[in-house]
Amino acid sequence: MAATGSPRPATIEARGWGWRYATRRAWALRDTSFRIEAGERVLLLGASGSGKSTLLQGMAGVLGGADEGEQHGQLLVDGDAATATRGRTGLVLQDPDSQTILARVGDDIAFGCENLGVPRPEIWARVREARDAVGLDVPLDRSTSALSGGQKQRLALAGVVAMRPGAVLLDEPTANLDPAGVVDVRDAVARALDATGATLVVIEHRIEAWLPLVTRVIVVGAGGVVADGDPRTVLEQRGPELAAAGVWVPGIRPPFPPLPPAVGDTATRRDALVSGERLVVGRVAGAPVAGPLDVEVRRGEVLGIVGANGAGKSTLGLTLAGLIPALGGAVRAAPALAEGAALTPRARRRARRGANAAASPDDPATWTSTALLTRIGTVLQEPEHQILRPTVREELEVGPRALGLAEAEIASRVDELLERLRLAALAPANPYTLSGGEKRRLTVAATLAARPRVVVLDEPTYGQDARTWSELVAIIAALRDGIDDRGPLGVAAITHDGAVLEALAARRFELRTPAPPTETWK
């Protein structure tokens, strides 16, 4: 690709193509054939686990060699094997962390351009243009580790936009963005395509925002392409069939679980399981991102933590879950929840010195990991950050084994969760070969296996098709209402998905975005 100017748009073709990961018996995708002409704008649909992400990675030529998997057929970019045309396509993955390479925002956006040999003066003009185009409102010298999940997604997109590839490949680029951010990113992509004429292939489960931009829909399944045509024809003629398979189809809403019985405000307030009082949160000492806040996670209720990207939602969730300490104020667990919790050695030393007034058994940040395991479970925004074992089954066994449960009890819990979250067929698979939606269900299941009494979920429905979305919502509702002898649990859900909060009758707690810092890049 030329270092400057607009590249010619790329043509992409699959000829009976399929891929099977080396650690899996089943094919991720097979017998897939289509041709995407230069400059087309394609929306790639399919149920969770249908092979969409694998196909996109194949187009980008990043699936690896024979040691990583087996390929049938051909996948071509401009008539050559996709693996031989890297640089002609720009890929934004489901997990933006996997594409964050350098420590500062500006350097990370510039990385791809530097590898393409773009002259330095042009690089920095492209960097600023790409950052502004995707709405990443942070200084170029901001640490990439300080970005929220949604901001990291914009960062990855900015790096691709700056490269000006012949084809832009996007794997759920707006999954972690607030509603305004979804439109901003969609419009940024549209501007980039208008300027360069690049081909577009985008995967999204929630497709309404992308329909004005795309000219074609391709739906894939286990047997290859199951539908292909202009968006209106495919969605109107095949809508009910696709929705039954799990594809999100505008106008066809998945079933909601029944709403809970009303609970009086006074009774609810008496039953707060975890509360924050004048709480100030942040991931770095001296750098608060939100607060002071008064917030409660109550038994038998879902607390919906909402707000724009960068407002501190995930940081608040981690603080309430006891995974990072508060910068100010206090987090307190109800006496019944804190009873028997042990302080960490560090917290015990602090308490003896009187250096930390919050170092007491009712502060979850002072508990041991085992104490947290059965009390407050957390599902992180990035599934890869909490995957520990080489198979799906072993991953679900981590919590129960840490608790010293009997083998029969471990097997019972794991088998039940595998079935409920449609992971049974994947029990022997390596978790890293799962789709984004499957990884999300795995981390939810692994958290539930320890049977905590409070659950903090960060983007719980991320990457889900309509069917698995309904199943996850039903499980969260069951936790809220009580699914065993523990009775109703407390649930905090950090999400941009308004439908999930509506379905769960969640009490919304909104965080406001702080003013952006001043640009200091030189």
| DSSP collapsed to 3 states, 137-176 | CCCCCCEHHHCCHHHHHHHHHHHHHHHCCCEEEEECCCCC
Label the pairing between strands 89-92 and 12-21.
Answer: unpaired
Cis ω for the linkage preceding 452 (within 30 of 0)? no
Distance of CA 411 to the CA centre of its chain: 28
In the chain, the amino acid numbered 108 is: D
Q: How confident is the prediction along the chain (522 residues), in pLDDT tens digits per residue?
A: 333 455 789 999 999 999 988 877 888 889 999 999 999 999 999 887 788 889 999 999 888 777 788 889 999 999 999 988 877 898 988 777 778 889 999 999 999 899 888 898 899 999 998 888 777 889 999 999 888 766 787 888 889 888 888 999 999 887 767 777 788 778 878 887 887 789 999 998 778 889 999 999 999 987 789 899 999 999 988 888 888 888 888 888 877 666 665 454 444 445 899 999 999 998 888 888 888 999 999 999 999 999 887 788 999 999 999 999 999 999 999 888 877 777 776 665 554 444 444 457 788 988 888 888 888 999 887 788 888 899 999 999 999 998 889 999 999 999 989 988 889 989 998 898 887 778 888 988 898 888 899 999 998 887 778 888 888 888 888 888 876 666 788 999 999 888 889 888 899 999 976 544 434 333
Residues in Cβ contact with 200 at an 8 Å cutoff, skipping those fewer than 6 apart = 40, 41, 42, 167, 168, 170, 189, 193, 213, 214
Please name which of 160, 44, 36, 31 lies closest in space to residue 101, comparing C-alpha atoms.
160
Q: What is the pTM of this model?
A: 0.76
Q: Is 516 within 8 Å of 137 (Cβ atoms)? A: yes
Strand partners, 69: 21
Residue 80's Cβ-side half-sphere holds a number of Cα atoms within 13 Å equal to 11
DSSP three-state, residue 235: helix
Report how far residue 299's alpha carbon sits from residue 75's, in angstroms, rounded to the nearest whole number. 52
Segment 150-154 long-range contacts (CB within 8 Å, at least 24 positions apart): 150/176, 150/177, 150/178, 150/181, 150/309, 150/310, 151/309, 151/310, 152/96, 152/97, 152/100, 153/92, 153/96, 153/177, 153/185, 154/181, 154/185, 154/309
51 neighbors 220 (Cβ within 8 angstroms) = yes
The two structure tokens encoding residue 324: 């990072």
Beta bridge partners of 273: none
DSSP string, 417-440: HHHHTT-GGGTTS-GGGS-HHHHH
Concerning whether 172 is annotated as a catalytic residue, the answer is: yes
Tell me the C-alpha distance between 180 and 321, whole Å: 28
DSSP state of 229: E
Q: How large is the C-alpha radius of gyration of the chain?
A: 24
What six digits make up the tokens of 106? 């500006």
Select which of 13, 172, 296, 382 is catalytic: 172
Which residue(s) pair with 476 in the sheet? none
| CA contacts within 13 A on the Cβ side of 71 | 23
d(CA 364, CA 362): 6
CA angle 322, 455, 313 (to 5 degrees): 65
Q: Going by C-beta distance under 8 Å and a sequence separation of 6 or more, which residues neighbour residue 206?
A: 174, 248
Whole-angstrom CA distances from 431 to 1, 23, 44, 56, 185 are 35, 10, 23, 19, 29
Sign of the C-alpha dihedral computed for residues 332, 333, 336 and 338 taken in this order: negative
Which two tokens mark 472? Answer: 């996850």
Contact 276, 328 (CB under 8 A): no
Q: How far apart are CA 39 and CA 51, in angstroms?
A: 23
Contacts of 23 (CB under 8 A, 6+ apart): 429, 430, 433
